Amino acid sequence: MLTISFIALLKQLSLAIVLGFSLGVEREIARKSAGIRTHILVSLGAALFSIISTSVIGPNVDPTRIAAQIVVGIGFLGGGMIIFQDSKLQGLTTAAGVWVAAAIGMAVGFELYQLAIVGTLLALGVFLVIGPIERAISNV
């Protein structure tokens, strides 16, 4: 089993929280069902599971198995956020945002910090730039 210093672990998990918070703030401002706490907890949880998977070392241990289950589990969680109401599908973007928050947390957990930060910035771009464009197109 690998040991990680407390300070390194604190920095790593704090980054997952900050990046999850960044996505959650936008969703909160947009008044979506999954907001700040949800995105923080998904990012933090995915980071924790990723750190655990890389910390357990042995001849029959595959760290990618936990990562694969994060993807599936968050997909299931996101599926519960999607509803069909008044002939309209709702919650799909929020579910996708939670899925991305998990991927960002996993990147932090696997120490792929640049990937996590760039992924967060791109996701925010989708929320903040593409969203208004999409609404403008649908109103035409």
Query: Can you give the residue ranges of every domain in the chain?
Result: 6-138
Predicted pLDDT of residue 92: 85
Rounded CA separation 24/41 (Å): 10
Predicted pLDDT of residue 45: 96
Q: 102 with 70: CB under 8 angstroms? A: yes
pLDDT tens digits, 34-66: 899 999 999 999 999 999 988 887 778 787 888
Predicted pLDDT of residue 132: 87
Q: Amino acid identity, residue 61?
A: V
Select from 109, 99, 104 the least CA-distant residue to 63: 109
Predicted pLDDT of residue 9: 94
Predicted pLDDT of residue 67: 86
Which parts of the chain sit beneath pLDDT 50? none
Q: Which helix (H) or strand (E) holds 135?
A: helix 131-138
Predicted pLDDT of residue 1: 59
Predicted pLDDT of residue 134: 87
Select from 32, 53, 139, 49 the least CA-distant residue to 102: 49
Predicted pLDDT of residue 12: 96
